[in-house]
A and B are shown apart, each in its own frame.
Chain A
Amino acid sequence: MKALVWCGPYKVKVENVPEPKILNKRDAIVRITSTAICGSDLHLVDGFVPFMKPGDILGHEPMGIVEEVGPDVDQGKVKVGDRVVVPFPIACGQCFFCRRELYSCCDNTNPRAYLGQEMLGHATAGIFGYSWLTGGFAGGQAQFLRVPLADVNCQVMPEEIRDMPDEKLLFLSDIYPTGFMAIEHCNVQPDDTVAIWGCGPVGQFAIRSAMLLNAGRVIAIDDGRRVPERLQMARDAGAITIDHRRESVYDRLLDLTGGIGPDVCVDAVGMEAHGSTPLETAYDKVKTMTLMETERPAVIRQVINCCRKGGTVSIPGVYGGMSDKIPMGALMNKGLTIKTGQTHVHKYVPRLLDYVRQGKIDPSFVVTHRIPLSDAPRAYNIFREKQEGCIKVVLDPAA
């Protein structure tokens, strides 16, 4: 089968690899019908996440049709022929964390848990196609995917929506629940202002989720020269936008909130932020190049600085290692609450699927590019460089 393989920083390639087999008794093999490129794939491809090895198959936003199930799969939950969305974290459904719906913290699905333990204190759940830190599982930018513990991890789409196009359902695997959780766990009130840094796909879903959860006002922040189309998409959803190239984010946010700052501030950018001043950009670039820091945390610094006293900072953007110069003084003295985490996708799928079926949202709004899997390296390039107004790429594994 064809699969997208990581071959070193900024180097990916489509390769013929053996098709996956049932390896555990509760595995399923899913024939992928649609699969997407995630912003966090760029962190991996660009070499920002340690523990990538050349030859790793990427991809963690897949859906498809179940082709085969192992002998111990609970067939009352998933069977051959089912149309399924596969959440990016792999959960067991039994451990301390899964029983508390903290699925991305599952304790039983990461075969390289010691890496997480040594890097982070505790390991995360296994994640498809997302480095050896999260288990080393082959990813879903491929024609077939092996899904462990299939009766927990395959989210079966009901027969009645057989005709609904993949693009409306695909993002239940990651970015829709990720944008949603970023708002949902902040307990947003009707008179709250929610500010969202980064208008990429997760930011776009966060904007729409904040609207859906009745935030008083949503403000979206991005670079109007580099990605004007993303700010436009945010405006289309009803957000007020701030172009950080043209205006001071801090001044504008305070102006909009009577001087107190936004109640909820969302960092939907993560570890590869471009600095707000050339000096800051240069500082983080030098530090990352000399391995004195593993990421460029420009956005989280600004988020903490702008958030109102006693407000909530939400971080759906991905960080992987050690950030430098995080304003702990502001965090502590302003009494901020931090909400973050890899998304507990399984928890949100039923609720968000209902929203899609009720027509409250059509997640396909975010798709700008449909590209054959065989052309995936070009797709990565377009997505990274934000060429052709690219916001979200869906790959077609059959083409």
Chain B
Amino acid sequence: MTLTEQRGTPTRLGTDTVGSMGQGNAGAMQAQQQQSYENVGLIERLVSVAAGAVLASFGLGRRSIPGLLAAGMGGMMVYRGATGHCPMYGAMGLDTAHEQGERTAEDEIAEHGIHIEQSFLINRSAEELYQFWRNFENLPKFLTHIDRIEVQGDRRSHWVARLSRLAGGNIEWDAEITRDEPNSLIAWRSLSGSDIDTVGEVRFSNAMGDRGTKMHVVMNFVPPASAVAGMFPTLFNKATRRMMRTDLGRFKALMEVGEILTLDGQPRGTCTGHGTRYHED
């Protein structure tokens, strides 16, 4: 199956803008406004009402200033749950109520995306590094959160990521290789309709002297549950950057050393008298 058959026309970065949605007659405009008033998703609304009620009754029972603040916060949560409108989301431009329709990966990335760019020196030839990376089924060996990648033909692949429940649970997507220059460059992106929007590339070039190969990786993506991430963009960005840096370091170790050192299963104390084994989460 080609990309075109899959869904609509392929788009180019920056050509389709967010503003192209919702144009047309006044009725559509009104529907758009109505939609934009509701900016909290159904499940989040239910949780918000329940948690808000608990917090409010707890706060009122305290008869103190912190209690009053808690009650106020609880009331606000009940309000956003009941009406489906969250003033804070409004102010922050977030919306968990609406599917993003036909918007493209590039739109999403431009709006909520995380951009990561990192370089590594690796003491192996560009050819070896390219060969390993070009077979996407190798990538889960160093990408901590990628459970498996199924290669479906020369350019297509199906990715399955294992994420914590907090980050939205397991997600899957299809990706295609958009550029492939033997021994120097591989670029890919997710296909529309995926759980995640991502565009990335890895470039291998000879480093100076006997320093091996310079690997340059660029990744852009919008995490799933982008609204949640959007509330703590700095925090999420930092965690993601840290994760990518670690994973690319693992690639370097795998190429240079042949294995990635693990701590999983090493002995560890507990300070209670009997030790245990350490497990990476």
Contact = CB atoms under 8 A, between A and B. Distances in A.
Interface of A: 1, 3, 5-8, 13, 15-21, 23-26, 54-57, 72, 90, 92-96, 99, 107-109, 111, 113-114, 117-118, 126, 135-138, 142, 146, 148-149
Interface string B255-266: 011111111111
A1 B265 CA distance: 15
Contact of A26 (B245, B259, B263, B264): B259
Contacts of B252: 95, 107-108
Given A18-B276, A54-B271, 10 more contacts: A13-B269, A15-B274, A17-B276, A19-B267, A24-B259, A55-B269, A94-B256, A107-B249, A135-B261, A138-B267
Interface of B is mostly: loop
Interface string B236-253: 000000100110010011
A23 B266 CA distance: 8
Contact of B271 (A1, A13, A111, A146): A13
B270 interface: yes
A25 to B, nearest CB: 6
Nearest to A19: B267
A19 B268 CA distance: 10
B259 A57 contact: no
Interface string B270-281: 110111111000
Interface residues of B, number: 32
Given A108-B253, A113-B249, A56 B269 contact: yes
Contacts of B273: 15-16
A19 B277 CA distance: 9
28 contacts: A3-B269, A6-B269, A7-B269, A15-B270, A15-B271, A16-B273, A17-B267, A18-B267, A20-B266, A23-B263, A24-B262, A25-B259, A54-B271, A55-B271, A55-B275, A57-B269, A72-B259, A90-B261, A92-B253, A96-B123, A96-B212, A108-B252, A111-B261, A113-B249, A114-B242, A118-B242, A146-B266, A149-B261
A7 B271 contact: yes
Interface of A is mostly: loop
Interface of B: 121, 123, 211-212, 242, 245-246, 249, 252-253, 256-271, 273-278
A135 B212 CA distance: 25
A54 B275 CA distance: 11
Contacts of A54: 269, 271
A56 B245 contact: no
B240 to A, nearest CB: 11
Given A94-B123, A95-B123, A138 B261 contact: no
Contacts of A136: 263, 278
Task: Report which residue of B249, B252, B256, B275 has the largest number of chain A beta carbons within 10 angstroms of its beta carbon.
Answer: B275
Nearest to A108: B253
B243 to A, nearest CB: 8
Closest 9 CB pairs of A and B: A17-B275, A5-B269, A7-B271, A108-B253, A55-B269, A17-B267, A94-B256, A114-B242, A15-B269
A280 B170 CA distance: 56
Nearest to B268: A55
